Structure 1
């Protein structure tokens, strides 16, 4: 454990937060908010950055707080972040780390903009060839639903065990956005499609899947209870027995959704 020092807000929209450590200036901890219009909307994603002795000749080492969940093809349950800018994925030219040109802010913005995208399915190597095809749309829609579920489960883990130095950020973010998260879940339960290529009506189903809605019914009451504990108002509407005919049970991390890597 290290003593955190000043928190820095990056980006005008206040969607990236960074904190350094007084006794380890080679370490940083960052939190970023998932973008609107993506399966990660209103989620919070935590990363640790280590500046090696060879920095900036070498890129920072980045660890993702995954809680064992595969929310994205580029974010592994082990914490590995697969990104050409970090030299952990193939790339060329401006895609790879340059000691003269690349920055820590560029790394964080790249993760937020290039990894946590509206269509994470196509981040898998070679899958962009299927973009716009009926099969690609179906698979992208299914992946987006699973990414959404895993983002909700990640929120639960963060609320239960916020990383040191970001307890306040986690609490403040979900107090501010918790009602929006629940409202989105309510919309999904009515059939609204999760954002992504599969939702454009071009050959795919226009509503979300029954399996996704069933999994949501298991997750939402637990998430609403966690939000209520930190002071989010209106959570009682999402408790057990309030979401329709399906029975509601506590979230089961082993079965609430299929692993995104399948």
Structure 2
């Protein structure tokens, strides 16, 4: 076997939570002397500095980005599992802003904190758009997998949207209640007013569990849209 497909679920407390992210891995003839070639199903969206619209994944372990020592591929020590875990943990993380080249120096600095929030908000919106693309055009062979995932998680996606619209954020690890206050930009609220109805329609079409609970979320969108 030299062609594999990997699907990851975005981790809680990141802009990518509950999203699905598809990667195709091809093992070249020289594998394991050379790393696998990885293609990300981006749908033309760049929701992370390491994931390009073209599908290229920039990662030291794949020799597509600079690195040294254990950061780069080793024919004796590296593995496919390491590649997958690196994408999940180092790329789809809670503060993708700092993945931009040179921006890691701004961690915990005022400028970094000021810029990281809008960057994460945009990554969250692009994650929602990726969900819609997957629901409308799931990768071949994964049609039912995509439906089943969002049948179970659709309500929590809408819960998070509703929390943002109300100026809160959901503790998605438990997905039971609003846990703490967090600023929400006007731009995010406006974007959600336009996106939530489409999400609601897509989840309703696949008969996602509990979506009827969040009709109020859709109503909030109509009210906010009218005020703008």
Q: Same fold (TM over 0.5)?
A: yes
What is the total number of aligned residue pairs between the two structures?
215
Match of 1:182 in 2: 158
Match of 2:221 in 1: 243
Structure 1: which 4+ aligned runs deviate by more than 2 Å?
192-195, 233-236, 238-244
Match of 1:170 in 2: 146
1:83 aligns with 2:59: yes
Query: 220, 224, 239: which is aligned to 2:200?
Result: 224
1:69 aligns with 2:45: yes
Match of 1:144 in 2: 120
Q: Tell me the secondary structure at the aligned position of residue 42 of structure 1.
A: coil
Displacement of 1:52:
0.5
| Whole-angstrom CA distance in 1 between matches of 2:63 and 2:157 | 34
| Deviations 1:176-216, CA, capped at 9 Å, x for gaps | 11111110111111112599xxxxxxxxx941101111101
Question: Against the structure 1 CA distance between its residues 38 and 122, is the aligned structure 2 distance closer, same or farther, given a 3 Å change threshold?
Answer: same
Q: Tell me the secondary structure at the aligned position of residue 81 of structure 1.
A: coil
Match of 1:50 in 2: 26
- Which runs of no fewer than 5 residues in structure 2 stay unpaired? 172-180
Query: 61, 67, 72: which is aligned to 1:96?
Result: 72
**Once superposed, what is the RMSD of the aligned Cα atoms?**
1.8
| Whole-angstrom CA distance in 1 between matches of 2:136 and 2:182 | 35
Q: TM-score, normalised by structure 2?
A: 0.89
Q: TM-score, normalised by structure 1?
A: 0.78
Query: 117, 123, 132: which is aligned to 1:156?
Result: 132
Does the CA-based 8 Å contact 2:98-2:104 persist in structure 1?
A: yes
Question: Against the structure 1 CA distance between its residues 216 and 80, is the aligned structure 2 distance closer, same or farther, given a 3 Å change threshold?
Answer: same
Richer in helix (by share): 2
| Whole-angstrom CA distance in 2 between matches of 1:194 and 1:211 | 19
| Whole-angstrom CA distance in 1 between matches of 2:170 and 2:102 | 23
Match of 1:13 in 2: none
Displacement of 1:125:
1.0
Question: Against the structure 1 CA distance between its residues 126 and 54, is the aligned structure 2 distance closer, same or farther, given a 3 Å change threshold?
Answer: same
| Whole-angstrom CA distance in 2 between matches of 1:72 and 1:120 | 6
Does the CA-based 8 Å contact 2:27-2:37 persist in structure 1?
A: yes
| Whole-angstrom CA distance in 1 between matches of 2:167 and 2:114 | 16
Query: 6, 14, 22: which is aligned to 1:38?
Result: 14
Does the CA-based 8 Å contact 1:221-1:238 persist in structure 2?
A: no
Match of 1:60 in 2: 36
Does the CA-based 8 Å contact 2:190-2:224 persist in structure 1?
A: yes
Displacement of 1:131:
1.2
Match of 2:82 in 1: 106
Does the CA-based 8 Å contact 2:161-2:217 persist in structure 1?
A: no
Match of 2:109 in 1: 133
Displacement of 1:239:
7.0
Displacement of 1:26:
1.3
Match of 1:212 in 2: 188
- Which runs of no fewer than 5 residues in structure 1 stay unpaired? 1-24, 196-204, 249-262
Displacement of 1:246:
2.3
